[in-house]
Structure 1
Amino acid sequence: MATTAQGILEAAIPAALAKAGLTLSHKGKVRDTYILPNHDDLLLVMATDRVSIFDFVIPATIAGKGEILTAMTIFWLTEVLPGSLAHHLVAFGNEIDLFLPPTLRQSGVLRKRCIVVKKFDMLSVECIVRHYLTGSGWASYKEHGHVCGIRLPDGLHDGSQLPEPIFTPTTKALEGHDEHLPTADVIAEHGTWLTTKSLVAFQAISQFAESRGVLLADSKFEFAKVGTLADEVGTPDSSRFWDSAEWAIANESGTSPPSYDKQHLRNWGKGFGIPKLDPCNSDDQDYVRKLFVPPLVLQETSDKYHAIFQRLVGMALAEFQQMWMDIHA
């Protein structure tokens, strides 16, 4: 199989990268990270089409998902977030060729789903910012009346807008579920900068989204120990986006609206009891791996990802790849 130009097929990417001398540093639920030869301070991060729900990687892929995650991260980092907020992005699109071995250059597949980033020691904290009460935040509020130790007003419901965005950190579990951490403890350990930078990133994305009729309910950010923003930013995997008109209707009835993400897949997974399973249990992992995901569920999920991309960015994915990433194949 050819390993130049358009010759690298997605399924063959790991073998092609290994043959070219790239070493797999980390394999996540969705992203694979590689060490670049002759660039000790840089990494190649590839977003795949894998998808996870309830901390299980599902035995199916969402066509084009990795390309959307990559393009959205590029959009927020280069166009929307303030320049004062340092980030890890070094190269994207055709510019990644400058850091790749010759046999991997001019690959549309790699250019569409890979970015070159600075290598950092990362904090073992996921920085969640919430402006609306839902998900695990809603579950904590129902049980305790607070989220990560932040006391909230009485009488809120799933989908309620909070008086202001709040910083609600969690653990970054390699396996199993992330757990809420007391906000005050995280600030005491790492400093107020972590809250400040998380809120700056959230507010920038939120304000831009609102100009497109979209609400940012909550979002996850990750930072290096030196304070640099890293990992994905503002994607349907890391952020919960709602249509503002749909939220207004849902709010009248005390519920939350549908989100532009993998909610169709989560609903399917609930039917098979996946939320009640333990990701650290091998029997549960085997059970999930044997499930069949209906093509319609996958297509509906893909449609949601493409819809929120086009609505926020203002153009279709292929157009963005041509105009912003200089990819013409």
Structure 2
Amino acid sequence: MTSDAPLDLPGYAHLYSGKVRDLYAPMGQDGAPRQDQLLLVASDRMSAYDFVLDTPIPDKGAVLTQMSLWWFEQVADLVPHHVVSTDVPTAVAGRAVLVERLDMLPVECVARAYLTGGGLNEYRSTGAVSGVDLPEGLVDGSRLPAPIFTPSTKAPAGEHDEPIPFAGVVDEVGQALADRARDLTVAILQRGNEIATERGIILADTKVEFGLRGLQLSEGEDPGAAIRARGADAEIVLADELLTPDSSRFWPADQWEPGRQQASYDKQFVRDWLTSPASGWDKSSGEAPPALPEDVVAQTRAKYVEAYERLTGRTFGSDVSDPIRLDV
């Protein structure tokens, strides 16, 4: 399974469906898809271990969209975002935003304040994460001396992202833009933790997406070459989602205990069930995971909603009758 069938949205042309998001282009007056804007629709699909699961998580798309909108406001003084309007078709109300098209940076921008997951595995093998040397004796869940930038490749669909040192980012986008992406990623993580810790949540790590506004590609010009040549002169803009349970690890602060896997508000709950004896699934088999049982679906939804409500202070309504709207 790769995605749901595209929705029929009058006035929009379906362009692409990823693991959990669908892209549409608004139609212009000339009857052709516009080249300057996209409708970004968050589905209820859940991905894990490079598979899109057969079982959706109700309201997940709305939670991620509304949380991203809230976070965009919290970091607006750090970096602009890509949202043009929250006025979207009724069929996707609350889980879609109209955004500007950007030339995306060809690397994954990741920052970590705590050590876990793939970063922990790399540290155990090398003593470093993405080329950043770390102190000895760190364990699962250890707080790092300071947040670090740990970028990775942006692999094609079906392939794994691989950690790269900062020099690899410089090779891809040039020194000035690499410095800016690193500094912004770390600053966003720090701002996120300042806010989240006041609400009893630890933001362990996050992945953010950046695009460029004003790169002005010539017809047929290679985007990568253009970014390396002129990227430093373009404006860097936040894109996709921001500080959500899909792009970040959220831990309840009162349960944090280094040396073990942490309780979480993110999709780690689903990963844990999939790799447990209860699922009967062998991660190394190459076969698709089984459907999620109803209790796992319900608990996963509850975790996403709880994270949203604790962070934003808003009550999430399943009908999304009062979505967050940005003044853009």
- The bucket for the TM-score relative to the shorter chain is 0.7 to 0.9
Matching residue of 2:6 = 14
Identify the structure with the greater helix proportion: 1
* 1:239 aligns to 2:248 (yes or no): yes
Map 1:138-157 → 2, pairs under 5 A = 138-157=120-139
Contact 1:209/1:216, CA 8 A, preserved across alignment: yes
User: Deviations for 1:138-191, whole angstroms, at most 9, x for unmatched residues?
Assistant: 000011110001000000000000001000011122222211111232135433
Gaps of 5+ in 2: 29-33, 213-233
The runs of 4+ residues in structure 1 deviating greater than 3 Å are 271-275, 319-326
* 1:276 aligns to 2:284 (yes or no): yes
- CA RMSD across the alignment: 2.1
Matching residue of 1:295 = 294
**Structure 2 residue corresponding to 1:28, chosen from 18, 22, 31:** 18
CA 164–275 in structure 1, closer or farther in 2 if over 3 Å, else same: farther
What percentage of residue pairs aligned between the two structures are identical?
A: 38
Distance in 2, matches of 1:87 and 1:275, equals 37
Matching residue of 1:6 = none
Distance in 1, matches of 2:110 and 2:82, equals 19
User: Deviations for 1:194-220, whole angstroms, at most 9, x for unmatched residues?
Assistant: 101111221221111011111100000
**Structure 2 residue corresponding to 1:74, chosen from 69, 91, 99:** 69
What is the TM-score with the length of structure 2 in the denominator?
Answer: 0.82
* 1:87 aligns to 2:92 (yes or no): no
Contact 2:108/2:207, CA 8 A, preserved across alignment: yes
* 1:171 aligns to 2:143 (yes or no): no
* 1:325 aligns to 2:324 (yes or no): yes
Gaps of 5+ in 1: 1-10, 97-103, 278-283
User: Deviations for 1:262-297, whole angstroms, at most 9, x for unmatched residues?
Assistant: 2221112113445425xxxxxx3xx316x2321111
Residue 59 of structure 1 aligns to a residue whose secondary structure is: coil
* 1:63 aligns to 2:58 (yes or no): yes
**Structure 2 residue corresponding to 1:187, chosen from 156, 159, 170:** 170
Residue 103 of structure 2 aligns to a residue whose secondary structure is: coil
CA 91–297 in structure 1, closer or farther in 2 if over 3 Å, else same: same
One-letter identity of the residue aligned with 2:124: K
CA 319–293 in structure 1, closer or farther in 2 if over 3 Å, else same: closer
CA 15–307 in structure 1, closer or farther in 2 if over 3 Å, else same: closer
Residue 46 of structure 2 aligns to a residue whose secondary structure is: strand
Residue 67 of structure 1 aligns to a residue whose secondary structure is: helix
Distance in 2, matches of 1:188 and 1:315, equals 43
Distance in 2, matches of 1:322 and 1:59, equals 27
CA 201–59 in structure 1, closer or farther in 2 if over 3 Å, else same: same
The CA deviation at 1:322 is: 4.5
CA 300–40 in structure 1, closer or farther in 2 if over 3 Å, else same: same
One-letter identity of the residue aligned with 1:232: E
One-letter identity of the residue aligned with 1:77: F
Matching residue of 1:8 = none
How many residues are paired up?
A: 288
Distance in 2, matches of 1:292 and 1:12, equals 15
Instruction: Between 224-233 and 306-315, report the one with greater CA deviation.
Output: 224-233
Distance in 2, matches of 1:233 and 1:186, equals 21
Residue 109 of structure 2 aligns to a residue whose secondary structure is: strand
